[in-house]
């Protein structure tokens, strides 16, 4: 689908405004309530950002009826608006049925796409082959070089995440390099030549020393932080004792399902796995 850079009018129904990995919402009645299109910024709010020159980039995809805007760092927000984490937005735009089944919402899917394309526009400005400035592709959601005609599509990095069970216990790990002090599922990127199942086995063995069996695919979620596609699995314990990979983890433990530690927030793939929303 073609992209229009810096369109001259606000013709789209959905407007997404981002500040880093946060998204702007407006007219919030109660904290943690359901969010829908009424909570997205309107045309007046977008015009304020342009009048104040606080928009670093803006584009629209008319075929999907949305526009997306990235704010400069520390831009002031209009009265009645606030920014929330994008992962929280994913959760709060879901219906009760979507939450219970781990299904992404339509607004969440659009927001993930918009955020990913903004990142493409930030990181792909000049052709790495010939050095010419890239332009919007007139046919696809991509950048194209006017010189050598190379196309550059949004990068998608497949990553696996797995909840390992042993009876009524689940294996959870605390990552060394995460800013959140929570326990989550084993996860990691798929390497060249691997199947998804091989990646799941390798990650669990590398990080915890545990061998697993009965690997089952259970769901997926776009995770634009910056460009992952998370592929969720369940697996059963086979053998081994926990021996953590100290370069990656601070801790790994078996936890009873009725006595869980602090886990990732709602809207994350790990939360969905641990709470059984993918089952």
Q: What is the CATH number of the domain that holds 210?
A: 3.90.79.10
Same domain as 109, residue 128:
no
pLDDT score, position 274: 94
pLDDT score, position 12: 87
Same domain as 111, residue 129:
no
Dihedral angle computed from the Cα positions of residues 48, 49, 50 and 54, in that order, rounded to the nearest 10 degrees: 150
Could you tell me the two tokens for 15? 């407007």
pLDDT in tens, 184-212: 999 999 999 999 999 999 999 999 999 99
Domain count, the chain: 3
pLDDT score, position 62: 87
Domain that holds residue 46: 4-116
Same domain as 253, residue 202:
yes
Which residues does the chain have with pLDDT short of 50? none
Q: Report which of 144, 138, 136, 161 is spatially closest to residue 219, judged by C-alpha positions.
A: 161
User: Which of 102, 133, 155 delimits the end of a domain?
Assistant: 155
Find out whether 226 and 210 touch, Cβ atoms under 8 Å.
Answer: no
pLDDT score, position 279: 57
Same domain as 146, residue 55:
no
Same domain as 74, residue 10:
yes
> What's the chain's Rg over C-alpha atoms?
21
Measure Cα distances from 196 to 10, 45, 191, 254 in Å: 42, 44, 9, 24
Instruction: Tell me if 263 is assigned to some domain.
Output: yes
Instruction: Tell me if 279 is assigned to some domain.
Output: no
Same domain as 47, residue 20:
yes
């Amino acid at each position: 689908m073609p992209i229009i850079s810096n369109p001259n009018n606000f013709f789209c129904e959905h407007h997404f405004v981002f500040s880093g990995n946060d998204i702007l919402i407006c007219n919030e009645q109660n904290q943690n309530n359901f969010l829908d299109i009424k909570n997205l910024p309107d045309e007046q709010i977008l015009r304020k950002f342009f009048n104040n020159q606080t928009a670093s980039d803006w584009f629209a995809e008319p075929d999907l009826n949305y526009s997306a805007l990235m704010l400069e760092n520390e831009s002031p927000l209009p009265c009645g608006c606030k920014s929330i984490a994008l992962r929280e937005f994913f959760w709060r735009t879901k219906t009760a049925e979507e939450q219970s089944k781990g299904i992404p919402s339509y607004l969440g899917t659009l927001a993930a796409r918009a955020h990913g394309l903004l990142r493409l526009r930030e990181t792909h400005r000049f052709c790495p082959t010939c050095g010419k400035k890239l332009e919007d592709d007139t046919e696809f959601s991509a950048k194209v070089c006017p010189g050598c005609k190379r196309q550059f599509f949004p990068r998608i990095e497949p990553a696996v995440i797995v909840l390992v069970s042993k009876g009524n216990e689940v294996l959870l790990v605390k990552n060394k390099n995460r800013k959140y002090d929570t326990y989550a599922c084993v996860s990691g990127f798929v390497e060249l030549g691997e199947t998804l199942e091989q990646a799941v086995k390798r990650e669990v063995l590398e990080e915890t020393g545990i061998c697993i069996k009965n690997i089952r695919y259970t769901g997926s979620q776009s995770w634009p932080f910056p460009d992952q596609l998370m592929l969720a699995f369940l697996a059963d314990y086979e053998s081994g004792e926990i021996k953590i990979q100290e370069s990656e983890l601070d801790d790994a433990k078996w936890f009873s399902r009725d006595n869980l530690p602090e886990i990732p927030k709602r809207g994350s793939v790990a939360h969905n796995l641990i709470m059984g929303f993918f089952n």
